[in-house]
Amino acid sequence: MLTPTQHEAYQKPRAPSAVRTYSLRCAGGQGCDPRLRRDAGGRGGVYEYLGGAPRHRKLYCATKYHLQIHPGGKIDGTLEENNPFSILEITAVDVGVVAIKGIFSGRYLAMNEKGRLYASTTFNQECELMERMHELGYNTYASHHFRTSPSPTSTGRRRASAERLWYVSINGKGRPKSGLKTRRTEKASLFLPRVLGHKDHDLVQLLFNSSLGYRHTAFRLTGSTRQRRQRHWADTLESGDNDEDD
């Protein structure tokens, strides 16, 4: 009786070919695309546990605002469901570390050494945010490089309290909070990553198919949205005046 290795249909498996891996690093003081980063194992910046591709999401804060990134560098929250500046691209740059980019603004969410949120035109270390999942499906995003460390006591021993992270937060008025004043457990620091709806996907497709670029397309979209809102309020006021006349 022939063994499996002696059968004529058996083919000896080939030795796996050597795979060369490269480690791409951002040059000092220069920005680079986070998707070109590599980890110690040679894998790409987008990891397997994130589905193998950058995630297009909207970050819905527990204070009922969507985080939005403006082309001018401003960060705030919006109550509008289909605001193009709230459509974000979340890309992993390291294990547990992500970069958040506004698709229509072309800028990265960043936190400086003073805890202030701003939108950076290029990717740098201030754009690296630690993503952590918490109960009820909410996530927190904290600065990877800046935090408050416990100061030593007069006896040379450190205090019992651990270091405090600086979180991305949007308060109840839709304004960003300073990272120095944030807490992990407060509503302003909790974000629910939302999958894009049909209208959001249509906006993204319109952007990708447009030759006007990020800013012009976004301004046209927000301008048309503002005009529709103004017409809606004008019609509402006019109908109210008619009701009073009747």
What's the whole-number average pLDDT of the chain? 75
Q: Which tens digit of pLDDT belongs to each residue from 131-179? A: 999 877 899 999 999 998 876 654 555 555 678 999 999 999 999 999 9
Is pLDDT at 101 greater than 80 in this prediction?
yes
| Domains and their CATH numbers in the chain | 51-148+162-198 (2.80.10.50)
pLDDT band at 43 (very low <50, low <70, confident <90, very high): very low
DSSP string, the chain: ---TTTSTT--PPPPPPP-------PPTT----GGG-B-TTS-BSS-GGGTTS-EEEEEEETTS-EEEE-TTS-EEEE--TT-GGG-EEEEEEETTEEEEEETTT--EEEE-TTS-EEEESS--GGG-EEEEE-GGG-EEEEEEEEEEPPPB-TTSPBPSSPPEEEE--B-TTS-BPPGGG--TTSGGG-EEEEEP-HHHHHHHHHHHT-SS-HHHHHHHHHHHHHHHHHHHHHHHHHHHHHHHH-
Higher per-residue pLDDT: 76 or 163: 76
What confidence score (pLDDT) does residue 102 get?
96
What confidence tier does 17 reach under pLDDT thresholds 50, 70, 90?
very low
Mean pLDDT value of segment 46-62: 71
Give the pLDDT score at 122: 94
pLDDT > 70 fraction of the chain, expressed in percent and rounded:
59
**pTM attached to this predicted model:** 0.67
Average pLDDT over residues 10-32: 44
Cβ atoms of 87 and 103 within 8 Å: the answer is yes
Give the pLDDT mean for 60-72.
Answer: 96
Cα separations (Å) of 52 from 43, 169, 179? 11, 28, 30
Nearest-angstrom CA–CA distance, 88 and 142: 17
